[in-house]
């Protein structure tokens, strides 16, 4: 039998009063505190030189009546381009970088906040990493005092074995999350590995923001997982509250993340106990 774990998502809390907000949730009966760690910086990658010129770049070059030797730049949402103005009749060579975006369009908290919070509470900090390179965060979060480290399967295609091992070696509990568009089969190898994840987080909204609408069609994933792995911790995250908990609980989810429904309620304790009762029924 798996145990119910109710995890208020601190993304919906008052970040300026994080310590007292976590205490308020623990006093209201929370088992875990769900910490959403997201990064949304743009970064440049893939040095391609030269690359077939796209019409916009050509148009910019045509207007660049600058002095020979000067650098020109061009930016659109896909490329960052730098070029040096050649002597008359000379060849332009473009230095093109492709712009890639991180996992989600939002930026939240990181290891320094976890470290500060850890000084105020012994609670289980259930960290959900919505980042493109989760491995970079293992050591900082482990040292900061995170309890669970849940990374996305979409962001760990070629290094999940190493990732799981490093998470465990830093004393954290490894979990894997999947976005709504990702097939459930993608996580089986991680659950069945020699060093397996100990939790699967089925996203029930597109990751990025609190307060979105629950996607009931994700319950098929939860049912399949529960049938295959009777004692696995299965977490659901996004749009959970009194009106959706029945669907999640009856499908077999036992770890329930809830942000806006708990923080938006006049009595968070009532919502937390309602969520718990549905899971334990
Ligand atoms: C979304 C986060 C969730 C979010 C849930 O990217 O992973 O944890 O805070 O918030 P609600 O419960 O409001 O949907
Ligand atoms: Zn989350």
Give 189-224 pLDDT, tens digit per residue.
Answer: 999 999 999 999 999 999 989 999 999 999 999 999
Residue 11 confidence class, pLDDT cut points 50, 70, 90: very high
Ligand closest to Cα of 103 equals 1
| Contact present, 90 and 46 (Cβ < 8 Å) | no
pLDDT at 136 exceeding the cut of 50: yes
Query: In terms of Cα–Cα distance, which of 228, 241, 174 is closest to 201?
Result: 174
Dist. CA 150 → ligand 2 center (Å): 9
Q: Is the pLDDT of residue 42 over 90?
A: no
C-beta separation of 101 from 40 below 8 A: yes
Report CA(80)–ligand 1 centroid distance (Å). Answer: 33
Confidence of residue 65 (pLDDT cuts 50, 70, 90): low
Tokens for 198?
């100990």
DSSP 134: T
- Structural domains of the chain ordered from first start: 5-41+103-280 (3.20.20.70), 43-101 (no CATH)
- On the CB side of 35, CA atoms within 13 Å amount to 29
User: pLDDT class for 101, splitting at 50, 70, 90?
Assistant: low
Bigger pLDDT: 131 or 24? 24
157: which residues sit within 8 A by CB, 6+ positions away? none
31, 36, 126, 233: the catalytic one is 36
Do 6 and 28 touch, CB atoms closer than 8 A? no
In this predicted structure, the answer to whether residue 34 has a pLDDT above a threshold of 90 is: yes
What gap in Å lies between CA 99 and CA 97, rounded to an integer?
6
Is residue 236 a contact partner of residue 204, using CB atoms and an 8 Å limit? yes
pTM metric for this prediction: 0.82
Atom of ligand 1 at shortest distance to CA of 207? 6
CB neighbourhood size of 106 (10 A) = 16
The CA-CA-CA angle for residues 191, 192, 197, to 5°, reads 30
Name which of 8-12, 66-70, 79-83, 270-274 the model is least confident about. Answer: 66-70
Is the pLDDT assigned to residue 114 strictly greater than 80? yes
pLDDT value at 72 more than 90: no
The yes-or-no verdict on residue 48 having pLDDT over 80 is no
Q: What's the CA gap between 130 and 258, in Å, rounded? A: 17
Confidence band, pLDDT 50/70/90 cuts, at residue 39: confident
Q: 157 burial class (0-12, 13-18, 19+ CB within 10 angstroms)? A: exposed
pLDDT at 67 (0 to 100): 67
Whether 158 sits among the annotated catalytic residues: the reply is no
Structure tokens at 215: 């996607």
User: For this structure, is 237 an active site residue?
Assistant: yes
Q: Looking at ligand 1, which atom is closest to the CA of residue 214?
A: 14
Task: Determine the pLDDT at residue 61.
Answer: 52
Banded pLDDT at 63 (limits 50, 70, 90): very low
Question: Taking a C-beta distance cutoff of 8 angstroms, is the pair 25, 35 a contact?
Answer: no
233 DSSP assignment: E
- Choosing from 31, 126, 233, 237, the catalytic residue is 237
């Amino acid at each position: 039998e798996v145990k119910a774990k109710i995890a208020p998502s601190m993304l919906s809390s008052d970040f300026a009063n994080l310590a007292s907000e976590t205490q308020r949730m623990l006093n209201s009966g929370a088992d875990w505190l769900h910490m959403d760690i997201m990064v949304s910086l743009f970064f440049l990658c893939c040095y391609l030189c030269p690359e077939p010129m796209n019409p916009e770049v050509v148009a910019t070059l045509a207007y660049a009546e600058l002095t020979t030797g000067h650098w020109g730049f061009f930016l659109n949402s896909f490329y960052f381009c730098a070029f040096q103005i050649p002597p008359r009749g000379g060849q332009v060579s473009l230095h093109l970088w492709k712009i890639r975006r991180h996992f989600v369009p939002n930026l939240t908290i990181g290891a320094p906040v976890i470290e500060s919070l850890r000084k105020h509470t012994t609670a289980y900090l259930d960290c959900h990493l919505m980042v493109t390179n989760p491995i970079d965060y293992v050591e900082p979060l482990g040292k900061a005092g995170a309890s669970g480290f849940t990374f996305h399967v979409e962001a760990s295609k070629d290094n999940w074995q190493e990732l799981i091992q490093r998470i465990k070696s830093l004393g954290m509990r490894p979990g894997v999350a999947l976005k709504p568009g990702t097939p459930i089969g993608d996580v089986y190898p991680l659950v069945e590995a020699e060093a397996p994840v100990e939790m699967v987080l089925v996203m029930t909204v597109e990751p990025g923001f609190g307060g979105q609408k629950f996607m009931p069609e994700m319950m098929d994933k939860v049912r399949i997982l529960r049938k295959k792995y009777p004692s696995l911790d299965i977490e659901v995250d996004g749009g959970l509250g009194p009106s959706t908990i029945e669907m999640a609980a009856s499908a077999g989810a036992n770890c329930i993340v809830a942000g806006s429904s708990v923080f938006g309620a006049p009595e968070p304790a009532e919502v937390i106990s309602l969520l718990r009762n549905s899971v334990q029924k």
